[in-house]
Chain A
Amino acid sequence: MQWEAVIGLEIHAQLATKTKIFSGASTAFGAEPNTQACAIDLALPGTLPVFNIKALEMAVMFGTAIDAEISKTSVFDRKNYFYPDSPKGYQTSQLFYPIVGLGELDITLADGSIKTIGVTRAHLEEDAGKSLHEKFADMSGIDLNRAGTPLLEIVSEPDMRSAEEAVAYAKKIHGIVTSLGICDGNMAEGSFRVDCNVSVRHKGDNKLGNRTETKNINSFRFIEKAIKGEIIRQIEILEDGGRINQETRLYDADKDQTRTMRSKEEANDYRYFPCPDLLPIVIEDDYIEAIRNNLPELPDARQQRFIDQYKLSEYDAVNLSADKALAGYFESVVKECSDAKLAANWLLGEFAKQLNQSNTSIDQSPVTASELALLLTRIKDSTLATNGAKQVLEALWRKEGEVDAIIDSKGLKQVTDTGAIEAIVREVVSNCDKQVQQYIAAEPDKRGKMLGFFMGQIMKASKGKANPGQVQALLVPILDELC
């Protein structure tokens, strides 16, 4: 019997407003605890909320970007529950009349196929503060700086069937909100958080199985791992004859496993009702259309433009256009080095590897677009061979200096002087008597395969600096002389 996973995502995107959704306190990340929690954020008696115009605008931008229904009347509701990071004892959210209704978007899968994923709704709500557990022995410390930061909660239909699809969808939403400039997308700082609803069922069943919700996952890699792990866990339980508890789980990145969230164990009754301190948000068609007509370039359009303008492959275009920061970086590099294919290869190859290894986002890259462009220019003008270029990139990453200075100090300049290369080739050939004899003995049509050995030895002898094309051009005639 084959199993099938059913996955839906709830994505919390912090909106990039300057101030809170209902107060004039700053939303900047990383301030001293409670220095950005004003009387309203602390829910002091008598304080009242007033809605931030930018939060509305950003929500409508998202809705129009995915061509979703926009509610001309939407209403804030109160979700009542007690938790120390929720200062009012309720979260102001939108249950009954969310600002954004049904929409959909396409994701591109690894095999190039396209799948449409439904977006059920997107609603405005306020973020909670943070509980800090490590600092004190028997107590927790509450920092309410984050309380009241505007969130757009984007709820998908349960349309995804694998962790890969879920990641592709999450990346797509990430690309849209960052391209719109409505979210900084910084997952490490919690600006873009993903809750994964996962259930499994026998393939062909229409009925959904009991699902679990794994909360607050803060990287695409962890989304994939958490979902994969959760699918396996559920299948194992079901195959052992058990049943899945409908519950909230937390992903522990250190252990790479999910666990039950204890504070959510009891069934909650949130007693939603319309917030009497806020009035219905009413918007006009003109307002919606003005926003729609002024949307910045979105990932899909950018992807097509990259194909048309830079002649990129579909694969490169998809991967370079999804994230606004990466796309911008790519275009800056191309502007300076005039070789889109080379820039694409490096950004999706060595450069991406460096980002991953150091867990850095593109906008925090220690290597500027100009530096990378110069590096690529040095490949194009044959100053650097590939191997040398990798070394320069690593050095740039460590902030060791400028491109040309690194090339000089590490002696990575590619040797292009034919005389010098010929000398190295002849020396290597003369030192490899045994292999030369084998070469001579071989049938002429088998000799080509044996060149790799000599190439390797020559590149090694030149410390990687010899131009490979020139080496190859010289090597064959020299060997043939001996035959």
Chain B
Amino acid sequence: MALDKSDVDKIAHLARINIEEQDTQAYLQNITSILGLFDQMQEVDTTDVEPLAHPMDAIQRLRADDITEKNQRELLQSVAPAIEDGLFLVPKVID
């Protein structure tokens, strides 16, 4: 799978990661070589193999619908970058 710079730009945008212009080439090379690792997988026939998402065949446990969390806004917001009137502040969101 050959990638070019525009692919890296597209992925970086999807991942919301700013990549400096001078670093793009290095990322492109690294990612291309990592993708090269994946090629050997394609030779394996997995037609009837069920994908394994979790190592155990466990099933989801269910939680009782009881309120266990109390208001801890002050504590939880003590690590926030920007707060006003109990709200997390971000640059203007446009719908």
Q: Which residues of A contact B (CB under 8 A)?
A: 17-19, 23-26, 32-40, 42, 44, 50-56, 75, 82-85, 131-133, 135-136, 138-144, 250, 261-263, 269, 271, 274, 276, 278-282
Q: B-side interface residues toward A, CB under 8 Å? A: 14, 16, 53-54, 58-69, 71-73, 76-77, 82, 84-95
The number of A-B residue pairs with CB atoms under 8 Å apart is 128
- Please measure, in the bound complex, the distance between the C-alpha atom of A85 and the C-alpha atom of B65, giving whole angstroms: 24
Q: Are B69 and A23 in contact (CB under 8 A)?
A: yes
Say yes or no: A279 contacts B54, CB within 8 Å: yes
Given the interface pairs A37-B76, A39-B76, A84-B93, the reply to whether A51 lies near B60 with Cβ below 8 Å is yes
| Cα(A32)–Cα(B74), bound, Å | 12
In the complex, what's the smallest C-beta–C-beta distance from B25 to chain A, in angstroms? 24
A-B contact pairs, 23 of them (CB 8 A): A18-B65, A25-B69, A26-B69, A33-B86, A34-B73, A34-B76, A35-B71, A36-B71, A38-B72, A39-B72, A51-B60, A52-B62, A53-B65, A84-B88, A84-B90, A135-B87, A139-B82, A139-B90, A140-B89, A140-B93, A271-B14, A274-B53, A282-B60
Do A279 and B88 touch across chains, with their CB atoms under 8 A apart?
no
Contact of B67 with A50 in the complex, beta carbons under 8 Å: no
Nearest opposing residue in chain B for A271, CB measure: B14
Contacts A24-B69, A34-B88; is A280 near B93 (CB within 8 Å)?
Answer: no
Given contacts A136-B84, A282-B60, whether A24 and B68 have CB atoms under 8 Å apart is yes
Q: Is the interface of A mostly helix, strand, loop or mixed?
A: loop
Contacts of B82 in A (CB 8 A): 139
Closest to A22 in B: B63
| Closest chain A residue to B64, Cβ basis | A53
| Contact call A140/B59, Cβ cutoff below 8 A | no
For the complex, give the distance between the alpha carbons of A34 and B86 in Å. 6
Is A51 a contact of B63 with CB atoms below 8 Å?
yes
Q: How far is the CA of A138 from the CA of B14 in the complex (A)?
A: 25
Q: How far is the CA of A26 from the CA of B92 in the complex (A)?
A: 28
Task: Write out the residue numbers on chain A whose beta carbons fall within 8 Å of the beta carbon of B65.
Answer: 17-19, 52-55
Q: Cα distance A279–B95 when bound, in Å? A: 34
Q: Apart from A82-B16, A276-B54, A280-B60, list 12 A-B contacts with CB within 8 A.
A: A26-B69, A32-B73, A33-B87, A35-B73, A38-B69, A52-B62, A53-B63, A84-B93, A131-B90, A131-B95, A138-B91, A144-B88
Whole-angstrom distance between the alpha carbons of A279 and B59 in the complex? 5
Q: Please, which residue of chain A has its CB at the minimum distance from the CB of B59?
A: A282
Q: Report yes or no: B60 in contact with A281, Cβ–Cβ below 8 A.
A: yes
CB distance from B10 to the nearest CB of A (A): 9
State the Cβ distance, B55 to closest chain A Cβ, in Å. Answer: 11
Does the CB pair B14–A24 fall under 8 Å? no
How far, in whole Å, are A141 and B87 apart by their CA atoms in the complex?
5
B53 close to A276 (CB less than 8 A) = yes
| Minimum C-beta distance from A271 to chain B (A) | 7
Closest Cβ neighbor of A139 among chain B residues: B89
Looking across the interface, which residue of chain A has its beta carbon closest to that of B90? A84
